[in-house]
A and B are shown apart, each in its own frame.
Chain A
Amino acid sequence: MFHAEPSTPIDPNYDLLARMLADAGDDPVLTLAIVVSKMLEHGRTTPEALARLGISEDELLAVLEALEESDTPEEFNAALDLQAALQHYNAILVEIANERGVPAVGGTYLKLRSAIAAFAERNDVLDLRIAYRLMLAECPDQLPGTTPTSKD
């Protein structure tokens, strides 16, 4: 976890914003994450207030977890990337489940998720939509749920 520097008295004429922007350097996302985390820690903002800015509770949790688990900026960015990838894939998998009439909870959904992700991983396909289409063509029997009929 990153540790904040000890606080020092602030000169009223000191341009804190300019200093922060300058310090953000090559990693403004990390700086922003630390600021948000510290504001939450000190009760200067709430998850509800951040939701009004469009930061969902899940996204906030992902950022805080990444911050907590990382010891270096590189690890933090890798953790954020992973969270982003997971969210991206989760959204696609929910769409696919809906198309196949599978409720997005429970064992059947888990099996569908794992089957598509495993196929994608095995064949080095990073786009889950493409992986899904390939599975429909090559091995539809491995997909739980009902294959939607083509509109063509």
Chain B
Amino acid sequence: MTPEACKHALAMIAREYVLTRREELDTLGTPLVLRPATPEEANLSRLHQIAADVFRRLPDDVVESVPPLAESTIPPSIGGVGEDSGLLLWVVDLRAPDGAPWVGFLCGTLYAEHEAEMAPETRSTTINNLNLNDAAAAWVSMEVAGERLMVRLCSAAHPVDEGLESWSDLAAYMVAVAVAAGEAEGSAGPASTYLELLHISQRGDDDGYSETSLCFAASAFRDSFSENLARTVLLDDHLNGVEVLVPFFAAGEVRALLTAFEAVSDEDSPTGVGGVKIFGQLFDSLPVPEAHRWARAFNGDDDVPDDDNDTWTQTTAWLFGSWQALEVSPGMASVFYKGFVPNPLRRHVSDVELVRGCVREVWVSANRYRLRKEFDSTIGGVDVPR
């Protein structure tokens, strides 16, 4: 027996007990679930002010490509519904579960295809393919103005009272990303130019996320837990970043929740703007149709019935990415999260918040899956008399 094997064995045994204490694990990553305010509650003038502030920060030619907001900005308000595709801008008022503080929410979306004629299986496969090929947003099926469409979402949420200035900047950045992603491939449009300039102007005293900063943030994240739980969180240097492995208790079995962070330099990024690649994975492989269904549910697809429809837009709203299903063996697929946080967001999202938010996103989704699995295994076979 080598000393390394002995240390590894000790670490495994040491974690056995804590892993079984579900009530403590359940406190990990408790999400900030926001609830939309009702039109009566919402502060209309405040929302208009936010929207105007966001637009003020965008270059004129980007603003020109975004038709003005509709009169009412209470959810969802839609502008720019084109024949085939266009930019949607929603300003939604949200509240934290305790009723305060107020939180502004902005969602830039792009139409893709009308899906009226599509069979459900085709729709599911198409949406998954879009997510597999789009690193910066989530594609979902959504009913908009009476039509069922595939919509591309990226969003920004922030407690408004913690600094409108900073929040509007972030929201404007998100809108620009949404517009840039819709620009024709190979021809840089106004939004791409704006993002590039923004990135260049912000370099200098900040080189963006790095392997060192990510490892440091992961350690701080681990240390933020109680001593027992902190001991169960494993950190591992990984590629140009760090892997965070969090134990997870599901349906009587201990599983690991994996979230990996990889710093990408400007030189290595295909778009020229570096950042952090994020990878997270559900702990089970599933039959392909089931995997598609769960990926869509995690993305907030309103065509997937689910009692508990928290989505990344409510939990980690500054994160670009989506849940996807990837076939790993014949008929079986892995459900994983792939995201990217570009370096300019470092002004708005600290390294520790980045790690915490991403683990939380993977945790929330895995937790939903775990609860459903436990429910099904407990009373799934019971026939309810009608």
Contact = CB atoms under 8 A, between A and B. Distances in A.
Interface of A: 78, 81-82, 84-86, 88-89, 93, 107, 110-111, 113-115, 117-118, 120-121, 126
A85 B14 contact: no
A110 B15 CA distance: 10
B386 interface: no
Contacts of B1: 81, 84-85, 88
A57 B185 CA distance: 60
Nearest to B12: A86
Given A84-B1, A85-B1, A114 B6 contact: no
Nearest to A111: B17
A113 B13 contact: yes
B5 A117 contact: no
B8 interface: yes
B19 to A, nearest CB: 9
B17 A126 contact: no
A90 B89 CA distance: 60
A113 B17 contact: yes
Given A110-B20, A113-B16, A121 B5 contact: no
A126 B3 contact: yes
Nearest to B5: A81
A49 B165 CA distance: 75
Interface residues of B, number: 20
A29 to B, nearest CB: 13
A126 B6 contact: yes
A126 B7 contact: yes
Contacts of B2: 78, 81
B6 to A, nearest CB: 5
B123 interface: no
B5 A110 contact: no
A74 to B, nearest CB: 12
A78 B1 CA distance: 9
29 contacts: A78-B4, A78-B5, A81-B4, A82-B9, A84-B1, A84-B5, A85-B6, A85-B8, A86-B9, A86-B12, A88-B1, A89-B10, A110-B16, A113-B13, A113-B16, A113-B17, A114-B13, A114-B18, A115-B17, A117-B10, A117-B11, A117-B16, A118-B14, A120-B10, A120-B14, A121-B7, A121-B11, A126-B7, A126-B10
B18 to A, nearest CB: 7
Contacts of B17: 107, 110-111, 113-115
> Which of B3, B11, B13, B231: most chain A Cβ within 10 A?
B13
A114 B5 contact: no
Interface of B: 1-18, 20, 231
A93 B13 contact: yes
Contact of A82 (B8, B14, B18, B20): B8
> Which of B6, B7, B16, B20: most chain A Cβ within 10 A?
B6
A115 B18 CA distance: 10
> Which of B3, B7, B8, B17: most chain A Cβ within 10 A?
B17
Nearest to B20: A110
Contacts of B11: 117, 121
Contacts of A126: 3, 6-7, 10
Contacts of A81: 1-2, 4-5
A25 B6 CA distance: 26
Given A81-B1, A110-B20, A114-B18, A86 B7 contact: no
Given A82-B5, A85-B9, A114-B17, 7 more contacts: A81-B2, A89-B9, A93-B13, A117-B10, A117-B11, A117-B16, A118-B14
A141 to B, nearest CB: 16
A118 B11 CA distance: 7
A84 B5 CA distance: 8
A86 B14 CA distance: 12
B15 A114 contact: yes
Contact of A86 (B13, B15, B18): B13
Contacts of B3: 126
Contact of B14 (A84, A88, A107, A117): A117
A117 B232 CA distance: 13
Nearest to B9: A85
Nearest to A119: B14
B227 to A, nearest CB: 10
A105 B87 CA distance: 60
Nearest to B2: A81
A114 B16 contact: yes
Contacts of A85: 1, 5-6, 8-9
